[in-house]
Structure 1
C-alpha cells in the first residue's frame, strides 16, 4: 500500500481574506471600456483607478487610508482627450504615475500627498511618439525615469521621462498587436506576447530578439476560467505566481521551484462576484505584523475590495523567511547609465521594522526649449505678399513675451500649490 507524500512548503496553507466592508472603496465609477489592462494601480501611498469620464479620459487617485464611500465630486486626474487605457506608478517615486491613452499619448503626473481641491489637469510631461492608441506602460524596475510603452502601431518605445525623449523605438519586431510587455528582474531584457501567438525575449538596447521558440513548456496548467484575459502577478521574493482572470471570480496561486515539476499548485481564493480588474501591492506596502505576503485590489462595477493573502503563523515575531529584503524606492541606476549598457539589480530594503513611505519627491523634467532655437540664417520666406506685417524683430518680441508669460504662469502655479499646502496644514490642525 503506497503512501502519498505531501510536498513541504511554507506557503502550503496560504489563504485569502477580504477586508471588512468599511475598508473597501465604495461608489467608484469604474471605467466600462473593453480593454485588457488591470484598470487600477496601487503603491504604499495611493490607490489609482481608471474611471468613467466625459469629454476625454480620466483616472482617480485616493490615499490608501481614504476608504468608504468616495465623494462623487472627488477630484480626478484628467488631461487626455480620449479614454485612459493603462496606468502605472513609478517604483522609485510613490507620488509619480504614468497614464496611457487612446489619444496616442503618455502623460506623467505628480500627485500631492494631500487631496487637491480641484482636478489635476497639467502633467509633468507629455510623451508623444506613437501613431495609434497606447495600451501598455511599465516602468523600469531599477533605473530612474525609464518608461516603456506599447501601442496599437505594434511599436515599443522606451522613454527617458527626465528629458521627455524617446530613446529606443522598437517598431520592426512585432508584425501584429502586442498583448503584454514586462521587464525581467534587473531590467536588462523585456518579454512580449503578441497576437501572432509568439513570445519574444528582447534585448531592447541592442534591438534584437534573444529568444522566441517556446514550443516545449516546462509545465502546462489547464485553467478552468472564463473567456477573459488572465492577469498574472509574480512575487520574486516568495516565487509565487498569482493568476487572476478578468470576468472570473477566483485567484489561483502557484509556487515556482528550480526542480521538476517546477510549478506547484497551492490553492484558489474564490468569491461570488467576478473581477473587472486587479491591482497588486508592492511588497513594501504590506503589513508584516499580520504575515501578509500579498494584497490584491479587486475591482467590481462600483467598488474596490482589497484582498489580503496570509501565511498563518502563531508567533508575533518578524518572520524572516517570509520577508527577505525587497526592492525599495531608490533607483540603482540613472537613465543615462542604463541606456549606455549598464545593468543593476533593484536596491533592496528590509521590512523588519515595517516600511514607512518617504515624503513627496518632485520629478524634474529637463526638456530642450524649442523657443531657444534661433531661426536659421540665410534666405527666409517673405510675408509681404500676404501683408501680415511680420518681421524678424516682431517675431523675437513675441517669443520674449511668451517666455515672460510662461514665467508668470509658473510663479502663479507655485503660489497656488503653496496655498493648497497651507490649507492642508490648517485643516489638519483643526481636526
Structure 2
C-alpha cells in the first residue's frame, strides 16, 4: 500500500478522542457473538445494542446528553430475543428499525428528546424471515424502503409505510455478513460467510455479479465507495492475514487492488466518506483506526494516517456528514464502542480560518428523500439530494411514522410462523443439494444413452 507523500487537502487529517465528560458512560453493550457494529448514529441520537436478561433491547440516547447514563435508562424492549442490529431512517431522524434473533424486524418512533420510559410497542412489526435477522439497512434515496438479511439465507426489501415485503433476494449459500447500497440505491452489494461478494439488481431480484472476495473463513465486510462504481471489501486470506480489496463493479474478475494489512484476528469494519474520499478501517479488538484516501487511478488508495488508542473497540459508527462541526474543520466524527463507554472521535483538518472552507466541505447528503417507495419500486432512480453546510444544517421537523398495516404482537407473529432451527435449515440445504446432484447424474446418464442411440442409428443407416 503506497505511503508516498502526495499533495492532498486531507493529508494531515488527525483524530482526537473527546474528553471523558463528553463521552457516554455506563453503557451496557450487548455481548452477543453475532458480528455487528453495535452502534448507529444520526444527528440527534445514537442507538446501542443493549445487554438485558430475558429478551432483546436497544437504547436510543440523545447526543446532546453526554455523561453517565442512568441505571434505569429507558429502552426499546419489544423483541423477545437479542437485538442484533439497528438503523436510523435517513429521511426521518425520529424513526429507527431493529432486527433480532426472534426472526422479526421492527420499526419504532422516537419521541422528541428521546424515551422517558421503556417502550414495548413498535410502530410496525415485519415477519417473514424464517431465522434470526442480523442486518437492517435503509435505502439511500427512497423513503421508507428497508433491506433486511437473515440466517435463512435471504435478503428482503420492505415498503415499511405499507408494511409489505416487495422483493426477496436469494442465492447466498451462507448467511449475509454485510450489505451496502450504491449511490442511487439501484444495486445492493453483499458479503456472505460463503466468502462471496455479490451484486444484486434489487428491483428485478437478480444477482448480476458474483466473485470470491476473500478466501479466508472469517468475517468479511463491504462498502460501496460513494458515487463511483467501486466497492471496498475487507476479509481474510487463507493464512488469516487481514485484507483490503478494491473492486470495479463492471468487472469483478480480479480486484483493482488487494493488500494484506496485518495478522490480527478481528473483523475489519470499513466506512467511506464520499465528500473527502476517505476510507476508514477499524478492526474489532483493535484500538486503532486506519484511514486512506481513495483515488481513481492506480494505486487507487493512499495511506493517510492512523488514530491510535490503547482501548480496543467492540464496534464503531459514523455520524452523517451533515452533523459535523464545520467551524472546527471537523470532516468526520466516529463513535467508538469501548467496554462500557461510547467515545466520540473527531477527525479534523489542521487549518486555521474563520471562514467556511468550501473546498473541504462540498455539498453533502441531506435529509430529504428524492423518491417515494412506489416510485422506486416502479423503476425510477434518483441521486441523493445534496445540501450546503455553509450556514449549518437545520434538521427537518419531527414526523410521526404511521404504517398502513396493523402491528401484531410478536408472540402471535412467531406462533404463526414456522421457524426453522439451525439444524433443520442445514439438513434442508444438504437435502436440496443432494437432489440437485442426483438430477445432474440422471441428465448425464440420459445424455450418454442418447449418444449411444445416435451411434447405433448412424451405424444402421450405413448398413
What TM-score do you get using the length of structure 1 for normalisation?
A: 0.83
The runs of 4+ residues in structure 1 deviating greater than 6 Å are: none
| Aligned equivalent of 1:179 | 177
Alignment of 1:416-431 (within 5 A): none
| Aligned equivalent of 1:291 | 329
Change (3 A) 1:234 1:225: farther
Quick one: distance in 1 between partners of 2:113 and 2:173?
Answer: 45
Change (3 A) 1:64 1:369: closer
Deviation at 1:369, TM superposition (A): 9.7
| Aligned equivalent of 1:348 | 386
| Aligned equivalent of 2:57 | 58
Alignment of 1:389-404 (within 5 A): none
Quick one: distance in 1 between partners of 2:397 and 2:261?
Answer: 42
| Aligned equivalent of 2:115 | 116
| Aligned equivalent of 1:327 | 365
Please tell me whether the aligned partners of residues 225 and 245 of structure 1 are also in contact (alpha carbons under 8 angstroms): no
Number of aligned positions between the proteins? 366
1:195 to 193, 196, 204: 193
Please tell me whether the aligned partners of residues 30 and 51 of structure 2 are also in contact (alpha carbons under 8 angstroms): yes
Alignment of 1:10-409 (within 5 A): 10-171=9-170, 173-213=171-211, 214-224=252-262, 226-367=264-405
Quick one: distance in 1 between partners of 2:4 and 2:68?
Answer: 49
Quick one: distance in 1 between partners of 2:395 and 2:46?
Answer: 14
Deviation at 1:114, TM superposition (A): 2.4
SS in 2 for 1:159: strand
Root-mean-square deviation over aligned CA pairs:
1.5
Please tell me whether the aligned partners of residues 294 and 309 of structure 1 are also in contact (alpha carbons under 8 angstroms): yes
Quick one: distance in 1 between partners of 2:169 and 2:260?
Answer: 33
Please tell me whether the aligned partners of residues 296 and 307 of structure 1 are also in contact (alpha carbons under 8 angstroms): yes
Per-residue CA deviation, residues 129-174 of structure 1 (Å, 9 max, x unaligned), is 1000000110000100000000000000000000110010113x11
Quick one: distance in 2 between partners of 1:92 and 1:369?
Answer: 22
Structure 2 gap segments, 5+ residues each: 212-251, 409-463
Quick one: distance in 2 between partners of 1:231 and 1:200?
Answer: 18
Structure 1 gap segments, 5+ residues each: 371-431
Per-residue CA deviation, residues 296-325 of structure 1 (Å, 9 max, x unaligned), is 111111111100000111112111011111
SS in 1 for 2:72: coil
SS in 1 for 2:322: helix
Per-residue CA deviation, residues 209-259 of structure 1 (Å, 9 max, x unaligned), is 222243421112222253121111011111111011111111010111112
Quick one: distance in 2 between partners of 1:271 and 1:357?
Answer: 33
Please tell me whether the aligned partners of residues 88 and 97 of structure 1 are also in contact (alpha carbons under 8 angstroms): yes
Change (3 A) 1:257 1:5: closer
Quick one: distance in 2 between partners of 1:224 and 1:288?
Answer: 34
Change (3 A) 1:198 1:115: closer
Change (3 A) 1:111 1:5: closer
Quick one: distance in 2 between partners of 1:170 and 1:242?
Answer: 29
